[in-house]
Structure 1
Amino acid sequence: MTRLADAIVRTATADDAAAVQAIYAFHVEHGTATFDTVPPEESFWRAKIADVLERGWPFLVIEHAGEVGGYAYATQFRDRPAYAHTCEDSIYIAERHTGAGLGTELLGALVEAARACGFEQMIAVAGGGEPASLAVHAKLGFLQAGRMRNVGYKFGRKLDTVYMQRDLTEAR
């Protein structure tokens, strides 16, 4: 059940790849939350959704006002076996749906889904130290764990990356 009366969080399907691609492309082309500079094609997202779900990890979308308003997924933080219980989240909201509470709803659902998959720690890597990303993660109990200064360069400026962490074994 979601806080937003007309929002539904559900598992992504291959049919969501076009919407996911469009949402991410906007952020690549206009924002600093991602350090990608060229948006991947829809086929990349179709394969990404399939891969994440095949591994038993969550890839979620939130539908709002009749369309996919955002997506989020969790993948193992690093490929090495010792990281098996730590995941990294990725969350993006469609530009026209920002500020409506979808990010909070979606990230909350992702935290629960990641916990159900057996992850014990969740890491957020906020490219550019994006204020909206930092705020939604902090709202859901993430704490700043570090900052890497001037590690990215996009739109003619140097950018930091902020790491945040949440213990999934603790109820919040």
Structure 2
Amino acid sequence: MTSAKIAIRSAWVEDAPAIASIYAHHVLNGTASFDTVPRTEAETAERISWISGQGWPFVVAELDGKVLGYAYATQFRDRPAYAATCENSIYLHPEWIGQGIGRLLLTELIDRARECGFKQMIAVVGGGEPASVGLHQKLGFEHAGRMKSVGHKFGRWLDTVYMQLPLSGVS
């Protein structure tokens, strides 16, 4: 990891261009997202506002005013019984992958999700990306299941890996 001071802070609507750019890279070049068309800056700004407006965490890693990556937590499913379970999303600028930024973001996201009352966190790892699985394992997530060949992108069928982390005494 870089020795420079990386700040983890709440996302602002003004971060939408940087966040949309990071997400677009992953949509167009990777399998972590099953989207095939990147979100616009306006759609990204709406997402930031909506998630923050729910009282849920949306954080960015920043260095010298540049967004290096972001992470957020939303309710896992929209049905009322899922209200205490969240799903995380985390994406890094391609130049910062493998530098420890993901761990910083996910650690902060876990803390903030716990503070806002979530009891369980679910990671839905598109394409079963090994780096994402490894990051989640390092932070205590356990394998909770695999759905085989549920996404089709770049001419191939992809699995989705589910991982789970209890955020409180609930197991």
TM-score, length of structure 1 as denominator length = 0.95
Distance in 2 of aligned mates of 1:85 and 1:41: 29
Counterpart CA distance in 2 for 1:10 and 1:65 is 13
Q: What number of residue pairs does the alignment pair up?
A: 168
Percent identical pairs in the alignment equals 57
Give the match for residue 159 of structure 2: 160
Tell me the equivalent position of 2:97. Answer: 98
Cα distance in 1 for residues equivalent to 2:81 and 2:141: 22
Per-residue deviation, 1:66: 4.1
In 1, Cα distance between the equivalents of 2:141 and 2:64? 28
Q: Deviations over 1:68-88 (max 9, x none)?
A: 000000000011110010000
Structure 2: give runs of 5+ residues left out of the alignment. Answer: none
Match of 1:123 in 2: 122
Distance in 2 (CA, whole Å) between partners of 1:4 and 1:87 is 32
Spell out the pairing of 1:1-172 with structure 2 (5 A cutoff): 5-64=4-63, 66-169=65-168
What runs of 5+ residues in structure 1 fail to find an aligned partner?
A: none
One-letter identity of the residue aligned with 2:131: A
Q: TM-score, normalised by structure 2?
A: 0.95
* Distance (whole Å) between structure 2 residues aligned to residue 132 and residue 9 of structure 1: 21
Q: CA deviation at 1:64?
A: 2.8
Is contact 1:89–1:123 with CA below 8 Å preserved after alignment? yes
What RMSD, in angstroms, separates the aligned Cα atoms of the two structures? 1.2
